[in-house]
Structure 1
Amino acid sequence: MTTLKVSFRGTSLSSSSSPTSRQHISDSVAFSLPKKSLTAKFPNTFIPCPPKLRLQASSGKKARASLSAIVATGVQEVLPPALTSSSVPPTLFDGKTRLYVSYTCPFAQRAWIARNCKGLEEKIELVPLDLQDRPSWYKEKVNSTNKVPSLEHNNEIKVESLDLIKYIDINFEGPSLFPDDPAKREFAEELFSYTDSFNKSVFSFFKGDGTDAAAGAAFDDLETALSKFEDGPFFLGQFSLVDIAYAPFVERFQPFALDVKKFDITAGRPKLATWIQEMDKNVAYTKTRRDPKVHVEIYKRRFPAEV
């Protein structure tokens, strides 16, 4: 039995943080604890640090999944330094599960977000690589394409970011990141397929090969997609793998387009603006996010003709 003591100072604790979420929780609990403390006991649960608690009357697997998701957001992970060509490699294929990423790669960030959303910080070791000084052992023993992300699991290597986020969701415990609704699953696959076209349209714009109109059309497609389901602000209504697929790229496109191209991707796109705001509230995602200024500088080096 693990005991968690949470201190509150003039804090109002509620089962819902927004009017939208309150619509779906009819039996919520709200109270305030000024300058008091609350001790909560969670059987067989390891809690590395006090998480934010959102109380919801629920039971069974759904309650356990909800608790897992909340606890996951409270894990204060110390990010390891990126490994270089001179770094000592990990002991490969020793039964541990490792996620090989780069802190600057949006494709790797997808898998990193999925790991965090599932609450797997303690079960999937993060192994960051310096892509400018890549270790030779990575290509030789982990991923022959020399790309990230890669997942070392059950002494096998899994690759490709979209495949990886699905694999992590299916093969590890934690809240499901994919809906059961057939219509939503079908639309999700359409959006997964569109990611490459979306990225290419925006990159063409950044390189000077595309027009403002073409780039605008790509973001209009996101606005339209976000309008399909009305049960939440995300692509499938509720947060899912689809949001994980797009977030790392929008995170980079938005500041560079505004800074260099003077192009506001949210202008005239209220659904997209709201989606970005909601993503910024997701702790599992924000723990992977970098400073927008860093993205701008990286893209300025990548697209120097446009600066």
Structure 2
Amino acid sequence: MATIFNNISYHHSIIHCACNNNNTNRINLCPNLGSPPFKKPLILFPRKNLLNYSGISRTVSAISSGVREEALPPALDSSSDPPPIFDGTPKLYISYSCPFAQRAWITRNCKGLQDTIKLVPINLKNRPSWYKEKVYPPNKVPSLEHNNEVKGESLDLIRYIDANFEGPSLFPDDPTKIEFAEELLSFTSSFSKAVTNSLKENSTNEAGAAFDEIEIFLSKFDDGPFFLGQFSLVDIAYAPFVERYQPFFFEVMSYDITSCRPKLAVWIEEMNKIEAYKQTQRDPKEHVETYRKRLVSLKS
């Protein structure tokens, strides 16, 4: 399929999809789309159809109010010297391209910790030997150096950052929402596995069923457009993956993940308004090419 991204305007990136039992994947582009180069994530739902939620802006406003543009450091590779290790400064080791690391990065930003937790990007294709030897023996990202210890695993890290640093709370205190949050966080691995299986089979069946589950999850609470109504760690856990799946399925497999899933469409729209998240996003074209290569490797 020929690429369409260069002909889609970010400010009017509305895609109209025919949805019926005979053809759920048919895609029609709005005839009024502009031509500026596509540089931002797709917004696949008309703004005029967005629901108005009273009160949802509290946490999001708290997150956005203190967010500033951050000059991102270059990724360190095998030729790079290590930063001062265990010097008392918390450090978050990430890769700019890794969705798991992006979870921790988003959490850091949402807590307003840009001046507290130093960002240390690693080049995963040419990793410095000192990272495994001196920092994190599993040699994966993300990892967090804090209080003379190094912790890993993205879902554990986002909880840890939220609980151990100042900033807006990103986890609910309502028992019903806590229970549901745990279910949703546990589902993330099944969600990714379903999408991976679809890539292997060159089919949208399993992925489509997984996105249907997401649509159901987003319908649980009516006090906001996010998984728990209000923005939380659950949204952070899913965002990096949806960010990658959406453009890939659209361009490569002619499949719009928001078709007949209005809750998901609104969720994507609202996530793209959060500056702390937007600063971690990559060009969708990079995601498409990364998953093209992954698709080749899965089939080989």
TM-score bracket, shorter-length normalisation: 0.7 to 0.9
Q: Is the 8 A contact 2:181 2:234 kept in 1?
A: yes
1:221 counterpart SS class: helix
Mapped partners of 1:301, 1:24: distance in 2: 42
2:149 aligned with 1:156: yes
Q: Is the 8 A contact 2:63 2:110 kept in 1?
A: yes
1:99 counterpart SS class: strand
Mapped partners of 2:206, 2:143: distance in 1: 33
Q: How does 1:182-201 map to 2 (within 5 A)?
A: 182-201=175-194
Change (3 A) 1:267 1:70: closer
Tell me which of 128, 131, 139 is aligned to 1:146.
139
Mapped partners of 2:142, 2:129: distance in 1: 16
1:288 counterpart SS class: coil
Mapped partners of 2:114, 2:71: distance in 1: 10
Please give the TM-score of this superposition, normalised by the length of structure 1. 0.77
Tell me which of 90, 101, 104 is aligned to 1:108.
101
Which position in structure 1 is the counterpart of 2:251?
259
Shift of residue 20 of structure 1? 2.9
1:152 counterpart SS class: strand
Which position in structure 2 is the counterpart of 1:69?
63
Give the unaligned 5+ runs of structure 1.
1-17, 26-53, 57-64
Mapped partners of 1:94, 1:68: distance in 2: 30
Q: Which has the higher contact order (CA 8 A, sep 6+)?
A: 2
Which position in structure 1 is the counterpart of 2:223?
231
Report how many residues are paired: 249
Q: Is the 8 A contact 1:152 1:158 kept in 2?
A: yes
Tell me which of 15, 20, 31 is aligned to 2:52.
20
Shift of residue 285 of structure 1? 0.3
Shift of residue 72 of structure 1? 2.7
Tell me which structure has the larger Cα radius of gyration. 1
Which amino acid is the alignment partner of residue 203 of structure 1? T
Change (3 A) 1:232 1:111: same
Change (3 A) 1:149 1:110: same
1:252 counterpart SS class: helix
Change (3 A) 1:138 1:228: same
Mapped partners of 1:93, 1:124: distance in 2: 13
Q: Is the 8 A contact 1:72 1:284 kept in 2?
A: no
2:300 aligned with 1:299: no
Shift of residue 212 of structure 1? 2.1
Q: How does 1:107-146 map to 2 (within 5 A)?
A: 107-146=100-139
2:52 counterpart SS class: helix
Shift of residue 76 of structure 1? 1.5
Shift of residue 19 of structure 1? 7.5
Query: CA offsets per residue over residues 108-155 of structure 1, 9 Å max, x none?
Result: 000000000000000000000000000111111111111100000011
Mapped partners of 2:289, 2:280: distance in 1: 18
Which position in structure 1 is the counterpart of 2:25?
none
Higher mean alpha-carbon deviation, 270-279 vs 296-305, is at 296-305
Q: Is the 8 A contact 2:82 2:130 kept in 1?
A: yes
2:152 aligned with 1:173: no
Which position in structure 2 is the counterpart of 1:47?
none
Q: Is the 8 A contact 1:102 1:128 kept in 2?
A: yes
Which position in structure 2 is the counterpart of 1:3?
none
Mapped partners of 2:217, 2:275: distance in 1: 24
Q: Is the 8 A contact 1:72 1:120 kept in 2?
A: no
Give the unaligned 5+ runs of structure 2.
1-49
Mapped partners of 2:162, 2:114: distance in 1: 14
Q: Is the 8 A contact 1:72 1:118 kept in 2?
A: no
Query: CA offsets per residue over residues 86-106 of structure 1, 9 Å max, x none?
Result: 001101011110000000000
Mapped partners of 1:297, 1:121: distance in 2: 30
Mapped partners of 1:208, 1:19: distance in 2: 36
